[in-house]
Amino acid sequence: MSDSLSFTGAEDSIRLLPAVNDDHGGVIVDLEEPMDSKVFIGALRASMSHWKHAGKKGVWIKLPIELANLVETVVKEGFWYHHAEPNYLMLVYWIPETINTLPANATHRVGVGAIVLTEKREMLVVQEKSGRLRGTGVWKIPTGIVDEREDICAAAIREVKEETGVDAEFVEVVAFRQTHKAFFDKSDLFFLCFLRPLSFKIQKQELEIEAAQWMSIPEFTAQPFAQKSSLFKHIADLCLVKLDKNYAGFCSVSSSSSSSSEDKPPYIYMNTRDLHRSGHTTTNRL
Amino acid sequence: MSDSLSFTGAEDSIRLLPAVNDDHGGVIVDLEEPMDSKVFIGALRASMSHWKHAGKKGVWIKLPIELANLVETVVKEGFWYHHAEPNYLMLVYWIPETINTLPANATHRVGVGAIVLTEKREMLVVQEKSGRLRGTGVWKIPTGIVDEREDICAAAIREVKEETGVDAEFVEVVAFRQTHKAFFDKSDLFFLCFLRPLSFKIQKQELEIEAAQWMSIPEFTAQPFAQKSSLFKHIADLCLVKLDKNYAGFCSVSSSSSSSSEDKPPYIYMNTRDLHRSGHTTTNRL
Q: How do residues B62-109 score in pLDDT, each as one tens digit?
A: 999 999 999 999 999 999 999 999 999 999 999 999 888 788 889 999
Whether residue B255 and residue A183 make contact (CB cut-off 8 A), yes or no, is no
Q: Flag the least confident range among A176-185, B172-181, B187-196.
A: A176-185
**Mean pLDDT confidence for B178-184:** 83
Which contiguous run of DSSP H or E holds residue A190? strand A186-197
Within 8 A of B282 by CB-CB distance, chain A residues are: 233, 236-237
Instruction: Return the CATH superfamily for domain A6-94.
Output: Gcn5-related N-acetyltransferase (GNAT) (3.40.630.30)
Whether residue B83 and residue A82 make contact (CB cut-off 8 A), yes or no, is no
Q: What angle do CA A90, A94, A96 make, to 5 degrees?
A: 165
CA B223 from centroid of its chain's CA atoms: 32
For residue B82, give the nearest of B98, B106, B101 by alpha carbon. B106
Specify the fold of B108-243. Nucleoside Triphosphate Pyrophosphohydrolase (3.90.79)
Whether residue B237 and residue A181 make contact (CB cut-off 8 A), yes or no, is no
Would you state the pLDDT for residue B236? 94
Q: Beta-carbon neighbour count of residue A144 at 10 Å? A: 17
Model confidence at B263, pLDDT cuts 50, 70, 90, reads: low
CA B203 from centroid of its chain's CA atoms: 27
Indicate if B162 belongs to the active site.
yes
Closest CB from A83, A180, A270 relative to B149 = A180
Model confidence at B11, pLDDT cuts 50, 70, 90, reads: very low
Within 8 A of B68 by CB-CB distance, chain A residues are: 71-72, 75-76
Domain locations in chain A as residue ranges: 6-94, 108-243
Give the integer Cα–Cα distance in Å for A20 and B65: 26
* 8 A C-beta contact, residue B56 and residue B95: yes
Mutate to test the interface with B, among A83, A100, A276 (most CBs of B within 10 A): A83
Question: What percent of chain B stands above pLDDT 90?
Answer: 69
- pLDDT, one tens digit for every residue, chain A (286 residues): 444 444 444 445 678 999 999 878 899 999 988 888 899 999 999 999 999 999 999 999 999 999 999 999 999 999 999 999 999 999 999 999 988 888 888 999 999 999 999 999 999 999 998 778 888 999 999 999 998 889 999 999 999 999 999 999 999 999 999 999 777 778 999 999 999 999 999 999 988 899 999 999 999 999 999 999 989 999 999 999 998 888 999 999 987 644 444 467 899 999 999 988 877 665 544 3
Would you state the pLDDT for residue A215? 97
Q: Which of B32, B72, B128, B162 is catalytic?
A: B162
B92 to chain A: closest CA residue: A86
Model confidence at B245, pLDDT cuts 50, 70, 90, reads: confident
Give the integer Cα–Cα distance in Å for B222 and B275: 36
Q: What angle do CA A69, A73, A79 make, to 5 degrees?
A: 120
Would you state the pLDDT for residue A260? 46
Query: Which residues of A are known catalytic residues?
Result: 162
Residues constituting chain B: 286
